[in-house]
Amino acid sequence: MERELLVDADALVALRDSKDPNHKLAAAVSSQITEAKISLITSDPAFGEAITVISQNVNHKAAVDFAGDIINSRLEIVEVNARLRREALEIFKVQKSKNFRFTDAVNIAIMQERGLREIFSFDRDYRKNGLIRLGID
């Protein structure tokens, strides 16, 4: 079975935005991923969030280019169905932080469904939920 890794919106943004504080680390982790030939997935909400943030932080053209690059890449975008949404809500319910994003709960639900323990993200909430942030933890 091929190794899979979920990529969160913050990592996608950091890779595309050279002014992002995590840009250099994101590039280094991305190189590790490429070397290890890991299959990448993301959630549809994380993909949309990344497009929006890139548009806000870089510009609209960069966001459009990013979206096209992702859609035409091998990265799998996992569509959220009713079952995943319900699982994400259960994960969201038990969080302590008011800043925990529902998108993160969706990502965790996808990871649980696929038996994944590692994520490409800089978000500490994943660590608090027992996951490993590749290249960080």
User: Region 68-83: what's the mean pLDDT?
Assistant: 97
Helix then strand then coil, % of the chain, to nearest 5: 55, 10, 30
Question: Are 90 and 108 contacting, i.e. CB atoms less than 8 angstroms apart?
Answer: no
pTM assigned to the model: 0.94
Whole-number pLDDT of residue 2: 82
Task: For the chain, give the mean pLDDT.
Answer: 96
Q: Residue 31 belongs to what domain range? A: 4-133
Paired residues of 6 in beta bridges: 41, 119
Whole-number pLDDT of residue 40: 97
107-118 pLDDT, tens digit each: 999 999 999 999
**Res 60 pLDDT > 90:** yes
- Whole-angstrom distance, CA of residue 89 vs CA of residue 105: 7
Of residues 106, 11, 101, the one with CA closest to residue 50: 11
Domain count, the chain: 1
**Res 1 pLDDT > 80:** no
38-58 pLDDT, tens digit each: 999 999 999 999 999 999 999
**Res 6 pLDDT > 90:** yes
User: Region 17-25: what's the mean pLDDT?
Assistant: 97
Question: Which residues make Cβ contacts (< 8 Å) with residue 61, sequence separation at least 6?
Answer: none
What CATH number is given to the structural domain containing 47? 3.40.50.1010
Listing from the earlier edge strand, what are the strands of the sheet with 132-133?
Answer: 76-78, 39-43, 4-7, 118-120, 132-133
Of residues 124, 122, 121, the one with CA closest to residue 96: 124
Residue percentage of the chain with pLDDT more than 70: 99
Helix axis angle for 44-57 and 9-16, nearest 10°, is: 40
Whole-number pLDDT of residue 115: 96
27-40 pLDDT, tens digit each: 999 999 999 999 99
- Whole-angstrom distance, CA of residue 125 vs CA of residue 104: 8
